[in-house]
Every structure is written in structure tokens, then in C-alpha cells.
Structure 1
Amino acid sequence: MSDPETLSVYAEQSAHYASLTDTVLAKDPLLADFITSLPKGGRALDLDCGPGAAAAVMARAGLKVHATDAVPEMIALASQHSLVHAEVKTFEQIDGTDLYDGVWANFSLLHADRDALPVILTALHTTIKANGRFHIAMKLGSETERDAIGRQYTYVTEAELRGLLSDAGFTVIKKHIGCDMGLDGTHADWIALAAYG
């Protein structure tokens, strides 16, 4: 994520965002499924971790967690969680080979530019160990636009997202759809796909 306006919104809303996500992610069945799919003590990347709620749940479950976010204010919050290694990093700065048993990209890559998604997903596939687990959640649609509080969103269709994952080398194994209220106070349809690298 490198859009200045989106980064600014998250910087200003970091404490409020933490209050919204801390309890929700602790009970998230998709996060629980992701954790149980990884080997005990495995390495996980929480991509665009926000205030670190998901990373904290992973760490409490015994995973070695690397959390990244482009917003320093979010990393400051994520770093307060015990056993979470958090650092400021954009999507484009993710690199390395066979580093992680799993990557959690939960409503993060929806802030990437559409034309950047193939490169980012390929880099993520490279960072995941053979047959490692990948979780991605995105909002459904076909446009690119800003929400009510100024964040830039790239909406995707299910077919588009499946195609992007396949092209990057992932094999989709599970699908979930839903509709929830976001930070901007509006409801949006979403899709989450679990895949193997």
C-alpha cells in the first residue's frame, strides 16, 4: 500500500481501528482455520497487520509471527503484542524465498493497485514454503474507488481473484463470502479464499 491518502487515514484512525479489530479477530473462525493449517511453531506473515490483533492471536497459538504494515502508527500498536515481530514495510517490499509456512492477507491487498496485484501475489507465493497456506480476503466488486473516509479500494470479482491466485501459482481450496460493516460505517460484500502455495 503506497497511496498517501489511504496511509493518512489509517495513521489517524489507528487507535479506533484497534478497538474495532481486537475482539473480532480473537473469535474469527477463518483465522482459527488458518492457524490450525500451519505446523506447530511454524512461521507466519501477517501482511498489512494493522494494530496487530491477528498477529497476536497467531503468536498466542505458538506461531512465530512476522507482521508488516506501511503505517508506522499501526506498527507501534502491533509491536506492543508479545512475541510479534512487527516492522514498517509496504506490499512491494515483501521478498525472500521459502520463508513462511503461511501468509495472512486479510483485507489488506484491497488497497493495492489492480495492476500491481500480479507482481505482489507472485512475490508472496515465493515467500511461502512448498504447500504453505495462503489466506486472502477482499471486498467484492469491479471498480477502483475511494470509500467515505478516503481510502483507496481495488474491488475484485471472485473470478478475477481466482485467476490472479492461479496465475501466481496458488491452488484455491476453500471459499467464504460475507458482508460486514467497515471502518467507514458502510456494509460491503467480501470474499475470502484459502489456498496452498
Structure 2
Amino acid sequence: MADEKTIAIYDVKAADYARLVTMDTPDASLQAFIDLIPAGGRVLDLGCGPAAASAHMRAAGLDPDPVDASQGMVDLANQTHEISARLATFDDIDAEAAYAGVWANFSLLHAPRDALPRYLAALHRALESGGIIHVGMKTGEGAGRDGIDRFYTYVTVAELQCLLTGAGFTVTFTKEGREKGMAGTMDPFVIMRGGKHA
């Protein structure tokens, strides 16, 4: 279930968030993901925000499907990139073997902990055999709201690995770091990539 307060914050702060995440070239994580997807591959950009990542994917010859639960983000994405971003929540993902990749970069961290297994299972179904998933989450324990009232579920590295393997993925890459987000705090994070194998 989507957190309405978090969505409302993104509606209001869409332009601020876009300034924070938009880069002229893909960062290392996005470039590594792009390099793993076959030319022309369809990619679900889950929680696309202003669709900066989708724009880079499109420029690289991929076929992004950017979705977000925030109408403000969807509108900004389409105004900026003319990229057919559409409104959808995690609960709306019901495709089967439709994507070569799923880019879930710091989006699933807004989902309740008990819903994560269900959402990851849906993403596993949505991927073709051999498909790649990228997941970014903030690390820690428990759940709570940040300084601008967005809801977060924090995970440990081991917990995220268990969630991904439990959904049927083989984890192939893990990276930890710290980064300043829109709330202005330096927060620890983990990025994992995994594959769906027949």
C-alpha cells in the first residue's frame, strides 16, 4: 500500500528532487546496469521520479517504461523528457516476462517491510528469463520518517540479500556507501543487482 504522505511530498517537491538526481551522464551503477541489458531491451523504471535514469537508458538504445506513484513526478518526467512516464504504484506491477531489466533505484524503500517479499516476487515474474534487477535501499533497522516526513523501511545488507534470493533472484553484485539525499542527511545505502535464471 502506497504511503500517501510520501507521495504528496514528492508531488510538491518534484522539481527539487529532479535537481538532486539529474546528471548529464549515467553514474557508475546505472551504466553498469545499462551494459547488462540487451540492445532494445524493455526496462521497468520503478519509482522513476523525474525519469532521468530512463532518459539515459533511452539514449543508450534501451526501451524504458518509467512508472511512479507521484503524479507530480510523472508530469515532470513527461514535460522534461517526453518519455511516456505513467502513474503506477508497486501494487500495480502485474506483467509477466515483459522486461529485460528492472531499475528499482531507491523506490522500494518507501514500501512497508511486510510487502517487500510480495513486490519482489512480482518483479521476478515481470522479468524475462535472464533479466536483471537493480535495487537501491537505505541501510539500517526498523522504519520511520525522515526530516521531510517521507516514510522509509530500512534494511540490512543481509536482509536485502535474503529478500532477493527469497524472490528467486541470484545476487551478483553488492555495493555499500553513504550519500546525501533530499532531506539533507548523509545516509548509508546498499545497491544490489541480481538475475532471474530459468
Provide the TM-score with structure 2 as the length reference: 0.96
- What is the aligned partner in structure 1 of residue 148 from structure 2? 149
Amino acid paired to 1:191:
V
Residues 1-197 of structure 1: pairs in structure 2 closer than 5 A:
2-23=2-23, 26-82=25-81, 84-197=83-196
Contact 1:11–1:73 (8 Å) recurs in 2: yes
> What's the CA shift for 1:15?
0.6
Q: Deviations over 1:35-91 (max 9, x none)?
A: 010001111010000011101100111111100000001001112354623100000
Q: Deviations over 1:70-128 (max 9, x none)?
A: 00010011123546231000001001110000000000000000000000000000000
Secondary structure of the structure 1 residue equivalent to 2:23: helix
Amino acid paired to 2:43:
A
Q: Distance in 2 between matches of 1:179 and 1:82?
A: 29
Unaligned runs of 5+ in 2: none
* Displacement over 6 Å in runs of 4+: none
Contact 1:134–1:195 (8 Å) recurs in 2: yes
Percentage of pairs with the same residue: 45
Q: Distance in 1 between matches of 2:4 and 2:83?
A: 26
Q: Distance in 1 between matches of 2:17 and 2:146?
A: 16
Unaligned runs of 5+ in 1: none
Q: Distance in 2 between matches of 1:45 and 1:81?
A: 19
Q: Distance in 1 between matches of 2:154 and 2:133?
A: 19
Q: CA RMSD in A?
A: 1.2
Q: Distance in 2 between matches of 1:135 and 1:83?
A: 24
Secondary structure of the structure 2 residue equivalent to 1:23: coil
Q: Distance in 2 between matches of 1:191 and 1:120?
A: 18
Secondary structure of the structure 1 residue equivalent to 2:66: strand
Instruction: Work out the number of aligned pairs and report it.
Output: 196
Change (3 A) 1:83 1:128: farther
